[in-house]
Amino acid sequence: MSPLAQLRALPSAEPIFAAGGLFLLFLAAPLLAAAWLDPRSFNGINIWIKPLKFAVSMSLFLLTLVAIAPLLRPEFVRSRGYRIYAGVVLAAIGFEMAVIIGAAALGTASHFNVATPLAAALYTAMGILAVVLTSASAVYARALWHAGRGRTWPVLHDGLVLGLALVLPLTLVTAFTLGGNGGHWVGGTRGDAGGMPLFGWARDGGDLRVAHFFATHAMHFIPAAAIPAALLLGPARRWPAWFAAGGLVALVAFTYAQALQGRPFLA
Amino acid sequence: MPLDDLFSLANRLALAGWAALVLALWGPRWLMLAGGLALPALLTCLYTGLVLGFFASAEGGFFSLDAVGRLLSGREMLLAGWLHFLAFDLFVGAWQVRTARRESVPRLLVVPCLALTFLLGPAGLLAFLALRAAIRATRTPGNAGIPA
């Protein structure tokens, strides 16, 4: 099969995640229009940056799972239980996006908002649904483990399993610390205006979003390290995947401790 | 971008869309994609951006004529309302072109319907629906009716 044909066949393994991921990418267009037209700001930056970041990240999350789905056992992906679960994950993402966009439209906070009983209830629901949607990475880790190493390079298989398996525990620790902290800043300015380009992370104090970012992208960083390892050292050597996983856990621990001490990731 | 510039930009986009639609009655498929999909989608993006940004702070509502008047009294929502006209009229025009091509409605007769839809949206739709119904009613097996 040509690469283009392979790309076209990709969504068939997990069509609703593929459709959801593409829909979120399309959603970026009106959000960009809103960012362009609406002068309001929140935490010192345009109020539509946050919905845009979430749309792009959720899209990347779903499309990554789509790319992994062909490596799983077809019986698993087609099973009734998994189909229902995938629908629940997609609904959770839809709910998160609706709250984040709605809050931006109303000019209020989505996360950390306990100003009214409704806002507090929505914030709590978002926390629960964030766990539901992130659990998809753990489900994929387990399913890929069971599918065995035969479908791709052994080092990439292990990298994907390790990356996916680390997302949920690492994200739970970092994100719930964020939630308990009542905001992502520790010391420094409570605003995004002076933050790092693209990411918006604080440069004059701790920012718990850094550790959350590396935790949640374990499913990207570890496989991304496994691919050059397969090309340089051969696909059968599996230790680079485990080495990368250890490095990522260390990086999350380091950035987590750094933020809690109120120190910026990169000044 | 000042709202007046956005207004002019949107009008130009809509005009380009209508030109593409008229040509699409005879022309290639990409004209249909431009006038019937890409340009309406662009206008809906601008509309949605305005509504996301300004609806929450707008006054008024939907349930009385006065409330609708107040809703459109702010310039942002007034422009959003205008973009709503532009986008939906263009999309309805595209539907007419597609329907006409599929059902062999005489293309020259569709042009005035498009012109009317461009100027007075619903009146143009009504004209096209009437034209299509009249042609269907007079077309019998063995009699192709008015040649397409």
Tell whether the model's pLDDT for residue A180 goes beyond 80: no
Q: What is the pLDDT of residue B148?
A: 52
Q: Report how many Cβ contacts below 8 Å link chain A to chain B.
A: 47
Q: What is the pLDDT of residue A10?
A: 80
Alpha-carbon distances of A152 from A68, A109, A149, A179, A242, rounded to whole Å = 10, 43, 6, 38, 17
Of the partner residues B6, B44, B52, the one whose CB lies closest to the CB of residue A38 = B52
The answer, yes or no, to whether ipTM is higher than 0.90 is no
Q: What is the pLDDT of residue A187?
A: 77
Of the partner residues A31, A33, A40, the one whose CB lies closest to the CB of residue B46 = A33
Confidence band of B50 (pLDDT split at 50, 70, 90): very high
Residue-averaged pLDDT of chain A: 89
Chain A residue with minimal CA distance to B49? A34
Q: What is the pLDDT of residue A267?
A: 65
Of the spans A1-15, A182-196, A214-228, which averages the highest pLDDT? A214-228
pLDDT digits (tens, 9 = 90+) for B11-25: 999 999 999 999 999
Mean pLDDT across A90-103: 94
Record: contact B56-A106, CB cut-off 8 A: yes
Of the partner residues A30, A40, A106, the one whose CB lies closest to the CB of residue B49 = A30
Residue A262 vs residue A215, higher pLDDT: A215
Confidence band of A194 (pLDDT split at 50, 70, 90): confident
Residue A15 structure tokens: 């069509």
Which of A25, A32, A36, A37 is most worth mutating to test chain B (most B CB atoms within 10 A of its CB)? A37
Residue B46 with chain A: CB contacts under 8 Å: 33, 37
Which of B51, B52, B77, B82 is most worth mutating to test chain A (most A CB atoms within 10 A of its CB)? B52
Mean pLDDT across B54-58: 89
Tell whether the model's pLDDT for residue A177 goes beyond 60: yes
CA distance B93 to chain A (A): 23
CA end-to-end span of chain A: 48
pLDDT digits (tens, 9 = 90+) for B104-140: 899 999 999 999 999 999 999 999 999 999 998 887 6
Record: contact B1-A36, CB cut-off 8 A: yes
What is the torsional sign of CA A31, A37, A38, A41? Answer: positive
Record: contact B49-A37, CB cut-off 8 A: yes
Record: contact B48-A38, CB cut-off 8 A: no
Model pTM score: 0.87
Q: What is the pLDDT of residue A121?
A: 85
Confidence band of A129 (pLDDT split at 50, 70, 90): very high
Q: What is the pLDDT of residue A1?
A: 67
Q: What is the pLDDT of residue B136?
A: 87
The DSSP code sequence of B72-131 is TTSHHHHHHHHHHHHHHHHHHHHHHHHHHHHHT--HHHHHHHHHHHHHHHHHHHHHHHHH
Residue A34 with chain B: CB contacts under 8 Å: 48-50, 52-53
Dihedral of the alpha carbons of A140, A146, A152, A154, in degrees to the nearest 10? 110
Residue A127 vs residue A2, higher pLDDT: A127
Mean pLDDT across A58-67: 95
Confidence band of A5 (pLDDT split at 50, 70, 90): confident
Chain A residue with minimal CA distance to B52? A105
Record: contact A30-B45, CB cut-off 8 A: yes
Tell whether the model's pLDDT for residue A188 goes beyond 80: no
Confidence band of B44 (pLDDT split at 50, 70, 90): very high
CB contact, 8 Å: B2 with chain A? no
DSSP secondary structure letter of residue B38: I
Residue B49 with chain A: CB contacts under 8 Å: 30-38
Mean pLDDT across A183-199: 78
CA distance A232 to chain B (A): 45
Chain B residue with minimal CA distance to A108? B56
Q: Which uninterrupted H or E stretch holds A60?
A: helix A49-68
Residue numbers of B between 32 and 91 with CB closer than 8 Å to A = 41, 44-46, 48-50, 52-57, 76
pLDDT digits (tens, 9 = 90+) for B61-82: 899 999 999 999 999 999 999 9
Q: What is the pLDDT of residue B31?
A: 93
CA distance B95 to B129: 11
CA distance A256 to A263: 10
Q: What is the pLDDT of residue A235?
A: 86
Q: What is the pLDDT of residue A262?
A: 85
Q: What is the pLDDT of residue A117?
A: 83
CA distance A30 to chain B (A): 5
